[in-house]
Amino acid sequence: MGKILVMVAQRLALGLLTLFIVSLIIFLSVELLPGDLAQEILGQGATPETVAVFRHQLGLDLPAHIRYLHWLGGMLQGDFGQSLANKRDIAELISGRLGNTLFLAGLAAVISVPLALTLGILAALYRNTFFDRAVNVFALSSVSFPEFFIAYVLILFLAVQLGWFPSISNIGPNTEFFERVYRSLLPALTLTLVVMAHMMRMTRAAIINLMASPYIEMARLKGLTPRRVILHHALPNALSPIINVVALNLAYLVVGVVVVEVVFVYPGLGQLMVDSVSKRDITVVQACSLIFAATYVLLNLTADVLSIVSNPRLMHAR
């Protein structure tokens, strides 16, 4: 158990270091943008005196490392600053949008994870059959197309021609739960088709790799059915790589929703980030980027920890 705690502590330290480096990259990327931010916001008609005063209000006259420390310190305390576009607190802007993004990612996870695991187990159970080939072709086809293409195809068939779902996911804070689910199903289905292939193929590959193990052969010699061999003997020992790929795809569901949210005009964090880029609202862009990065690092860390804990060789070391 002590070995596991040491490995978890190492992963946590590496995650914090990665997040620090990412925050530095985000800040430097904004610093390297061409043009003067104050001049861009005020317009070309602003006088140099007005620009100088505004630069002082934004703290742009301070050295870059001082501004980075102020920005990072505020982030650590939960102070994201103010939006340059409408002078509202960024935390207020982000709170509702982040909840919408997590809701969409959670809905896609509820659909994709059980479906991918079931298809992966069935593909391993009926290996080299028509079902196995059909599932693999469908999975590879769905993952080969970009998100916006899949989204527009689903809009064309399920929203425009069949009219089953709305083409725009216009949800609000007062939208009821089931209505929110209904309006979010089309973007959630898009994300499901994008991430399902990786989880399904990893489940299939992990189980098939274990089918040649001696204990699997012993289980077969005992007369156990193929279904029982896979579910009770192969699957528990294949959990480590499966959990790892599931957690990584959950991370993608959160940080990879930007394109899907833009296509469906979904009021999430990705849509807020794109709108802020068009308005040159740099403070909001920085906050959104850091939240996406922190979420991805946290879920990657969770994947590492779960894969370590689910590894029998670490849990029952000799």
**Predicted confidence (pLDDT) per residue in 186-234, tens digit:** 999 988 888 888 888 888 888 888 777 777 777 777 777 777 777 777 7
For residues 252 and 114, state if they share a domain: yes
- 87 in any annotated domain: no
Q: What is the DSSP string of 225-251?
A: -HHHHIIIIIHHHTHHHHHHHHHHHHH
**pLDDT reported for residue 38:** 65
Given a cut of 70, is residue 6 above it in pLDDT? Answer: yes
Residue 243: which domain range? 94-312
Region of poorest pLDDT, from 48-52, 264-268, 286-290: 48-52
For residues 213 and 268, state if they share a domain: yes
- 88 in any annotated domain: no
In 155-225, where does DSSP find H-type helix? 177-210, 214-221
Given a cut of 80, is residue 43 above it in pLDDT? Answer: no
- 85 in any annotated domain: no
Please provide the average confidence, as pLDDT, over all residues in the chain: 80
For residues 284 and 166, state if they share a domain: yes
For residues 166 and 217, state if they share a domain: yes
For residues 249 and 149, state if they share a domain: yes
C-alpha span between 11 and 16 (Å, rounded): 9
Given a cut of 80, is residue 16 above it in pLDDT? Answer: yes
- Tens of pLDDT along 76-120? 777 777 777 677 788 888 887 888 888 888 898 888 888 888 888
Exposure of 181 in the CB half-sphere (CA atoms within 13 A): 6
Q: What is the CATH number of the domain that holds 175?
A: 1.10.3720.10
For residues 126 and 228, state if they share a domain: yes
Given a cut of 80, is residue 270 above it in pLDDT? Answer: yes
For residues 52 and 102, state if they share a domain: no
For residues 33 and 133, state if they share a domain: no
Confidence of residue 44 (pLDDT cuts 50, 70, 90): low
**pLDDT reported for residue 311:** 63
**pLDDT reported for residue 40:** 63
For residues 111 and 204, state if they share a domain: yes
Confidence of residue 149 (pLDDT cuts 50, 70, 90): confident
For residues 179 and 288, state if they share a domain: yes
- Tens of pLDDT along 150-159? 888 888 888 8
For residues 35 and 112, state if they share a domain: no
Query: b/e for 254-293, b at 16 or more Cβ within 10 A?
Result: bbbbbbbbbbbebbbbbbbbbebeeeebbbbbbbbbbbbb
What domain count does the chain have? 2
Confidence of residue 41 (pLDDT cuts 50, 70, 90): low
Query: pTM here?
Result: 0.80
**pLDDT reported for residue 31:** 74
**pLDDT reported for residue 289:** 85
**pLDDT reported for residue 75:** 79
**pLDDT reported for residue 238:** 72
For residues 242 and 145, state if they share a domain: yes
Residue 115 burial (C-beta neighbours within 10 Å; 0-12, 13-18, 19+): middle
